[in-house]
Structure 1
Amino acid sequence: MAPSVADLKSQEPTSQAHAELKAKLSGASYPFYYPSFDVNEKFPPTELFDHSDSGLRADASKPNLLNANTITRDLSPYLGTEITGIQISQLSQEGLDELALYAAERKVLLFRDQDFKELGPERQIEIARHFGPIQRHPTSGNVKGFPEFHVVYRDAEHDRFREYSGRDRASGVSWHSDVSYEKQPPSTTFFFILDQPDSGGDTLFLSQVEAYKRLSPEFRKRLEGLRALHSAVRQADFSRERGGPVRREPVETEHPVVRQHPVTGEKALYVNQGFTRRIVGYKQEESDNLLNFLYDHIAKGADFQIRATYTPGTVVVWDNRVTAHSATVDFENTFRRHAVRLTPQAEVPIPA
């Protein structure tokens, strides 16, 4: 049985392996969510499953999600809405259906002032499973006993994500859509902010729908029907080289370069620098030139990007099918940043 939610903030690690964590975590608000990198933990290969998006069941007027106490503020015409007056922990099944639709429409939602005493790990997982089976990350830190959680943690002694971006790069910005190498990549994704610096540690998001729309009609025609290879190999190699876990062997999967959302019908680019490796059927030079153009187009599209800022108690919900994002590691690691992600998987990408 998991610890009671009321005890999470005060719980201290008890196993011998975590004996030294007490001092390290003396300032952490939620030491329960400290990352575990158990190299002996193994997962079976991911199996295909049938999926019907919960947004298809939603009432378009969203009466079970939005109410008279709800305040919303759009961050951009294309994506991003800040929301207060809703506790995600209290949403009904119908409210969660409407949440899926709202996330698909607005791409990124920021729910402020969430009560993590009510929204503990069991409820977090229960909510995320409403949208599909939760991806268990093959290499990242997870929570001991709760492998569904992907943990983001950085402090003075832990700087793993900066290392992954590359210490010799001029910028730490790295646009990606989470685990796009999966046969059935994620959709409605949840990110729970536990500890956050007063300044910095934000996330950049962009609309892959608007990125696609900005291309000329003739160029869009040439992209439709193309497929690209997405790969987990580099991620697995990075973990192995540093003595980290590889919980299942890395997969490589072909996905459409332009995919269609199953609920809104919107078309979106589906390539990203993090995991896309080449255009299927193209020579390497041809693939590199096309992908580099698309990456450059995405990265320079400040008018279809937002910078999401966080405070502890924020829950971010975004649709990985129609967005890309990048961390901004712009704060000194003397400050603690701690968050956890739940990443439900969805349909096999639908070609446009």
Structure 2
Amino acid sequence: MEPIQIGSLTCKPLHPTFVAEISGVDFSQVPLPQNVIDDLVAAQNRFAVTVYRDTGLDDARHVKFSQQLNECELCPKFGGPAQPDRFSDPHLFDAGNMNLDGTLIQKDTRRWWYNKGNALWHTDSSFNQHRSKYSLLLAHLVPQEGGDTQFADVRTAYDDLPQEKKDEIEDLVIEHDLWWSRQIAAPEEFKSVTQHEKNAKQPAYHKLVQVGPDGRKTMFIAAHAKRVMGWSQEKSTKLITELIEHCTQPKYTCSVKWYHPGQLVWWDNRISMHRATPFSDQMEKRDMRRTTVFDDGPEAYGVPDAPQMELGGSLPPA
């Protein structure tokens, strides 16, 4: 596929419909000039997932660059006493497999099974009422093999749905719940989650069919999606599973390999899904740090009054 020029950026597509490797950015100059930010956002709207090979970013500039895109989410603490973090900046999410002292997280520990949810197709922070638009994941240590991140093109998947399915889902509202995905990923271990923890992280509600930043329709759905408002759990699970399986067919997916420290992958949670892939996590270290940028678009706060909706699952009259 031929490179595409967007302003000052050269974009090398890695898939026919989305994902591109971007060159032409000097991250040593963070904060970047506004014209460069504008080009980067334009590339993001076009490709949904963008890859930057040798950024040279450290924690401080990673956060500062992310904050040029909008306010960033603080790493949450769901119930119980706060655990110490590996990073000094509270905007950095720990997506690695290391303890505070640098040792590997051991199998069957609480954090190990909690991270199993990352292997499900998901969108970051969809369980928040004020959702995220971007995630920016920076590699500090990568394993020799495995540990790639797979992405799904939800816009093209929506385009290819039969018209009758589009009509069926047009006005549906979905409940997104962090604990739902964790229960799916590790049902036995999930039993240790306390009611206090569940109360500390309540569900969020978002329209299923939305318009992305490029004007194309898309679906806001993935592993945190628990149920359709007004539908039974059984009927909801059937539809949600059907849609996720549709979106994650090989023709809509692309695997991004992590080559070395300093590589940054930036994705739009509103128009893509992603999941982590296995690696030898009991033998090799994988140090990944993520910032999460709050959405500032028209659907940023979802449908907060959804629990009061009447049966039927669709949006209330305007």
Compute the TM-score of the two structures, normalised by the length of structure 1. Answer: 0.70
Amino acid paired to 1:190: L
Determine which of 122, 127, 140 is the counterpart of 2:65: 127
Mapped contact 1:195–1:312 kept (Cα < 8 A): yes
Corresponding position of 2:150: 204
Corresponding position of 1:106: 47
Shift of 1:284: 2.2
CA deviations on 1:251-296 (whole Å, 9 max, x unpaired) are 31110111111x31111111111x1110001122221221121122
Shift of 1:209: 0.5
CA deviations on 1:291-313 (whole Å, 9 max, x unpaired) are 121122223x1111000001211
CA deviations on 1:188-229 (whole Å, 9 max, x unpaired) are 321111100122110000111111112101211211111000
Q: 1:142 to 1:319 in 2, by over 3 A?
A: farther
Corresponding position of 1:333: 282
Does the alignment pair 1:278 with 2:227? yes
Corresponding position of 1:26: none
Corresponding position of 1:80: 19
Determine which of 94, 104, 129 is the counterpart of 1:157: 104
Corresponding position of 1:319: 268
Mapped contact 1:143–1:150 kept (Cα < 8 A): no
Q: 1:62 to 1:73 in 2, by over 3 A?
A: closer
Does the alignment pair 1:251 with 2:202? yes
CA distance in 2, matches of 1:150, 1:87: 24
Corresponding position of 1:217: 163
SS of structure 1 residue aligned to 2:294: coil
Corresponding position of 1:308: 256
Determine which of 35, 51, 74 is the counterpart of 1:136: 74
CA deviations on 1:142-199 (whole Å, 9 max, x unpaired) are 54431100012225631566512659xxxx8310000101122111321111100122
Identity %: 23
Structure 2: gaps of 5 or more residues: 79-83, 184-188, 303-314
Does the alignment pair 1:266 with 2:212? no
Mapped contact 2:124–2:135 kept (Cα < 8 A): no
CA deviations on 1:24-45 (whole Å, 9 max, x unpaired) are xxxxxxxxxxxxxxxxxxxxxx
SS of structure 2 residue aligned to 1:272: coil
CA distance in 2, matches of 1:286, 1:236: 20
CA distance in 2, matches of 1:260, 1:88: 31
Mapped contact 2:75–2:91 kept (Cα < 8 A): yes
Amino acid paired to 2:244: Y
CA distance in 2, matches of 1:251, 1:101: 34
Does the alignment pair 1:226 with 2:172? yes
Compute the TM-score of the two structures, normalised by the length of structure 2. Answer: 0.77
CA distance in 1, matches of 2:36, 2:198: 34
Amino acid paired to 1:129: Q
CA distance in 1, matches of 2:92, 2:281: 25
SS of structure 2 residue aligned to 1:297: helix
Mapped contact 2:97–2:281 kept (Cα < 8 A): no
Amino acid paired to 2:279: D
Mapped contact 2:143–2:279 kept (Cα < 8 A): no
Does the alignment pair 1:191 with 2:137? yes
Amino acid paired to 1:150: F
CA distance in 2, matches of 1:329, 1:103: 27
Corresponding position of 1:147: 90
SS of structure 1 residue aligned to 2:70: coil
Structure 1: gaps of 5 or more residues: 1-59
Q: 1:332 to 1:138 in 2, by over 3 A?
A: closer
SS of structure 2 residue aligned to 1:124: helix
Mapped contact 1:139–1:247 kept (Cα < 8 A): no
Determine which of 20, 32, 38 is the counterpart of 1:97: 38
Does the alignment pair 1:345 with 2:294? yes
Give matches, 1:38-53, under 5 Å: none
Amino acid paired to 2:95: V
Give matches, 1:9-88, under 5 Å: 62-63=6-7, 65-66=8-9, 70=10, 72-88=11-27
Q: 1:247 to 1:228 in 2, by over 3 A?
A: closer
Shift of 1:120: 2.7
